[in-house]
Amino acid sequence: MTRPFSFSAGPATLPLPVLDRAKDDMFDWRGTGVSVMEISHRHAAVAALFEQVERDLRTLLAVPADYRILLTQAPPTALAAIIPMNLAAPDDVADFVHTGAWSGRFYTEAQKYLRPHLAVSSEYTGFTDIPPQSSWELTPFARYVHLCTNETIHGVEFFFTPETNGIPLVADMSSHLLSRVPDVARYGAIIAGAQKNMGIAGVSVVIVQEALLGKAQVTCPSVFDWRKLADASSLLNTPPVHAVYIASLVLEWIKAEGGVDEMERRAIAKSAHLYRCIDASALYINHVRPHCRSRMNVPFFLSDPSLTQTFLSGAERHGLLGLAGHRSLGGIRASLYNAMPMAGIEKLVEYMREFERSA
């Protein structure tokens, strides 16, 4: 049986060796005689699993020693509230860099927990550009500056780290974590859901500077208080053990494939192949400015929108799944996460060329 390629934005495709290994482990994980889903989170093997995930993330992302790596059940949508609750008081100001749907949602949610200030918005471009930092209006006394370094819906990615002159930068890296090595020391906190490049939904990673811990608002639920979570080595309450286990397999796979630099090399090659096809065609259009085109999420439109549904149905018949654009934008979106092999993009490009010829 030939497996289809899933271009879904998340939950997303997983590396085949990860699925194979999970299948093998299903009935007897690490000699325990049971699956990882049937064991107490207080078992030594589970503590070892959490330590291993933290160690691998630290190595793969070159996380400095004064940063804590937390695994939390809070999805990024909840982190939109949990970040301000952990880092600021209700009267504090935090700056928001609005470059697409996700940074916008975090800005809106933060209004319940602090005084958010919109430092810049690229809404006037239809979220197709990242305005230069010289045009941002940063607040000198802001508690932190929030941005989304890869906008999954609009396909806009940051390829520079903004300068915030000592004010902690907080980045939602949900959809491109592990596709390149960020300069962690330039961020106060980095958050990401696992379901794109690190496994399945159910767990998120928070990488946070130790010095920022211990300031949670009194109303912050204890399980989401990062100080408490750090003190308990992410085992404060019943954690999403299975999602953490899958993350451990994905991290092992990344190491075996050559690490995050290799993931970046592949991401450049894969996305370039698709953007070349789009740019050479009269039918497909990507509106994002070349300097900030995402390597992970490529939204595009057909110049004749009435062909979109035919394109998608044909793609499914060719084993190319999950290509419908986000419901807010329509069109097409191809997500090219680490686990998507070049063969998937080649097949997609071949299909796109064939579809254009016959359109």
Could you list the active site residues?
Answer: 102, 172, 196
Find out whether 102 and 172 touch, Cβ atoms under 8 Å: yes
Distance in angstroms (rounded) separating the CA atoms of residues 37 and 245: 9
Distance in angstroms (rounded) separating the CA atoms of residues 13 and 248: 16
Q: State yes or no: cis peptide before 17, omega within 30 of 0.
A: no
Whole-number minimum distance, CB 201 to ligand PLP, in Å? 6
Among 121, 122, 175, 248, binds ligand PLP (CB under 6 A): 175
* CB atoms near residue 269 (< 10 Å): 12
Whole-number minimum distance, CB 273 to ligand PLP, in Å? 23
The pair of three-digit structure tokens given for residue 135, joined into one six-digit string: 């045009």
Whole-number minimum distance, CB 193 to ligand PLP, in Å? 4
Return the number of the residue (277 or 298) whose C-beta is nearest ligand PLP. Answer: 298
Whole-number minimum distance, CB 148 to ligand PLP, in Å? 5
In this structure, is the dihedral angle defined by the CA atoms of residues 63, 129, 356 and 269, taken in order, positive or negative? negative
Return the number of the residue (12 or 142) whose C-beta is nearest ligand PLP. Answer: 12
Whole-number minimum distance, CB 333 to ligand PLP, in Å? 11
Return the number of the residue (77 or 133) whose C-beta is nearest ligand PLP. Answer: 77
The pair of three-digit structure tokens given for residue 141, joined into one six-digit string: 């006394």
Single out the residue of 162, 146, 161, 149 nearest to residue 86, CA to CA.
146
Total number of residues shown for the chain: 359
Whole-number minimum distance, CB 327 to ligand PLP, in Å? 12
Which 291-350 residues touch ligand PLP, going by CB under 6 A? none
Return the number of the residue (77 or 281) whose C-beta is nearest ligand PLP. Answer: 77
Number of residues that bind ligand PLP (CB under 6 A): 12
Return the number of the residue (116 or 283) whose C-beta is nearest ligand PLP. Answer: 116
Q: At 151, give phi and psi (nearest 5°).
A: -80, 105
Distance in angstroms (rounded) separating the CA atoms of residues 231 and 353: 54
Residues 6+ apart with CB under 8 A from 296: 150, 152, 157, 175, 176, 179, 196, 197, 267, 271, 335, 336, 337
Which 198-237 residues touch ligand PLP, going by CB under 6 A? 201
Which 257-286 residues touch ligand PLP, going by CB under 6 A? none
Among 36, 85, 148, 198, binds ligand PLP (CB under 6 A): 148
Among 6, 99, 174, 286, binds ligand PLP (CB under 6 A): 174
Q: Collapsing DSSP states into helix, strand and coil, what is residue 284?
A: strand
Distance in angstroms (rounded) separating the CA atoms of residues 203 and 176: 16
The pair of three-digit structure tokens given for residue 255, joined into one six-digit string: 């190491």
Distance in angstroms (rounded) separating the CA atoms of residues 117 and 185: 24
Q: Using the rule CB under 6 A, is 240 a contact of ligand PLP?
A: no
Which 58-117 residues touch ligand PLP, going by CB under 6 A? 75-77, 102
Return the number of the residue (56 or 172) whose C-beta is nearest ligand PLP. Answer: 172
Q: Using the rule CB under 6 A, is 193 a contact of ligand PLP?
A: yes
Single out the residue of 104, 101, 154 nearest to residue 333, CA to CA.
154
Q: Using the rule CB under 6 A, is 172 a contact of ligand PLP?
A: yes
Which 1-40 residues touch ligand PLP, going by CB under 6 A? 10
Whole-number minimum distance, CB 199 to ligand PLP, in Å? 12
Return the number of the residue (156 or 229) whose C-beta is nearest ligand PLP. Answer: 156
Which residues make up the interface to ligand PLP (CB under 6 A)? 10, 75-77, 102, 148, 152, 172, 174-175, 193, 201
